[in-house]
Amino acid sequence: MTQLTAKQNIQAIVKAIKAEEALLRKKHPLLMHQNTLGMAILLLSLSALIGIGTLYYFAIIPAWLCIILAAIATSISHELEHDLIHKQYFSNQPFLHNFMMLTVWLMRPNTISPWYRRKMHLHHHKTSGTEQDLEERLVGNGIKNPFLRALVIVDGLLGLLINAKRFSKEINGFSFFKVFNAGFPITTAYFAILYSVIVFHLVNLFTPLAANSPVLLLDVMNVFEFLMVVLIVPNIVRSSSLNFVTSSMHYYGGVNNMLEQTHVITSRLFMPFNLFCFNFGHTHTIHHFVPNQPFYLRQMISKKILEVMRQHGVRFNDFASIKQANLYQ
């Protein structure tokens, strides 16, 4: 495929996406109230998360069901954050915009600040498929070793620590402390709680820590363990699913144009992971062609647009690339 042909295919896809969006907006006037819809979705997902936590607190639902439902609720907040990064809601009303940014961060405390991530994500659009794409490399894209890749996908802090030296050499302007400090104070608190609970129970296996600890420590651990079920473990499930899908569908190396930045994942093998990242594998490629579009619109147009993308050279379910550390061939 020549560069000119690639350009024509890209233009055809972009045109189709915008045309489908225009038709939807004309058919459903409610879609014109984008700010209201964004805030309503945020408040509904936040209410759902609080409600799920309340049901667990009163022992109405078991821990495993709480984790699954909370992971789905927080996956919606990730899509909202993605939209907010592209200033899709209240771009001219800083208070409401920043309120939404803070809320989605509180719902997903294992991520860095959305204000810092905005810079990283916009840079991702400019450098997707190259070694300069810090955002995707932080979640495992371009890693060939399956054990290391799994570790990075599940635990972002360990991934950052492991890859810091390599990133410093390969990524222009990378600073470990800038990325690490971008999580303060919410992400810092998340990891403090996570590792405190892990250490407490590991020590308790070898010595009766629970029986000999002060009442205050046990009360704190009870709060931490409640947070583990309603917020921390659900976000591990959510972020691991998202990181696995996004690091699988983005190419790393051999990329020359937008057609080659991603492939679409529709395989049923990825259904459980797509469940916890709001169908990311089906719809994220659309976002690469038209970034300034609310996530729910991508869902609504995806059925027609995926066929258009297939006709114009976008690959589907290219799992061979994962074995080659996401190389586009």
**Distance from the Cα of residue 119 to its chain's centroid:** 15
pLDDT in tens, 38-70: 999 999 999 999 999 999 999 999 999 999 999
Query: Which contacts qualify for 191-199: CB closer than 8 Å, 24 or more apart?
Result: 191/110, 191/157, 193/224, 193/227, 193/228, 193/232, 194/228, 194/232, 196/221, 196/224, 197/221, 197/224, 197/225, 197/228
Residue given tokens 């350009």 in the structure block:
7
Question: Looking at residues 106-134, what average pLDDT do you find?
Answer: 97
Residue-level length of the chain: 329
Residue 1 has a pLDDT of 45
pLDDT in tens, 62-112: 999 999 999 999 999 999 999 999 999 999 999 999 999 999 999 999 999
pLDDT for residue 208 is more than 70: yes
Averaged pLDDT score across all residues of the chain: 96
Cβ pair 156, 138 in contact under 8 A:
yes
What is the percent of the chain where pLDDT is above 70?
A: 99
Which residues have C-beta within 8 Å of that of residue 202, sequence separation ≥ 6? none
Neighbour tally for 173: CB within 10 Å: 9
Of residues 66, 109, 74, 76, the one with CA closest to residue 230: 66
What is the C-alpha to C-alpha distance for residues 68 and 106, in angstroms, rounded to an integer? 18
pLDDT for residue 121 is more than 60: yes
Greatest distance between any 2 Cα atoms in the chain: 72
pLDDT for residue 115 is more than 50: yes
Structure pTM?
Answer: 0.95
What is the C-alpha to C-alpha distance for residues 123 and 249, in angstroms, rounded to an integer? 18
Q: Report helix, strand or coil for 61.
A: coil
Cβ pair 262, 249 in contact under 8 A:
yes
| 105 to 21, 123, 153, 319: CA distances (angstroms) | 28, 20, 19, 32
Residue 9 has a pLDDT of 96
Cβ pair 188, 160 in contact under 8 A:
no
